Amino acid sequence: MKGTFTGPGGTGRSIDISGHEMLEFDSDHLITSARGYFDEQEYNRQLFH
């Protein structure tokens, strides 16, 4: 994941972390569920420290 924390209370800091996302689809091939997995400590370090 790469991006910039610009939302409410955002720090304006950039982030670049690895992880993966599990997607589930319905019979029309639309996403019904998305679950992301990443290193939470590294995420917080890049955004807040």
Q: Would you kindly state where each structural domain of the chain is located, as residue ranges?
A: 2-48
- What was the pLDDT predicted at 48? 84
Alpha helices for 4-49 (secondary structure H): 40-48
Amino acid at 25: F
Q: For residue range 1-49, what is the model confidence (pLDDT) as tens digits?
A: 899 989 888 889 999 999 999 999 999 999 999 999 999 999 889 988 8
Query: What contacts 10, CB < 8 A, 6 or more positions away?
Result: 4
pLDDT at 7: 84
**What is the reported pLDDT for 10?**
86
pLDDT given for residue 47 in this prediction: 86
**Cα 2 to Cα 16: distance, rounded to the nearest angstrom:** 4
pTM: 0.58
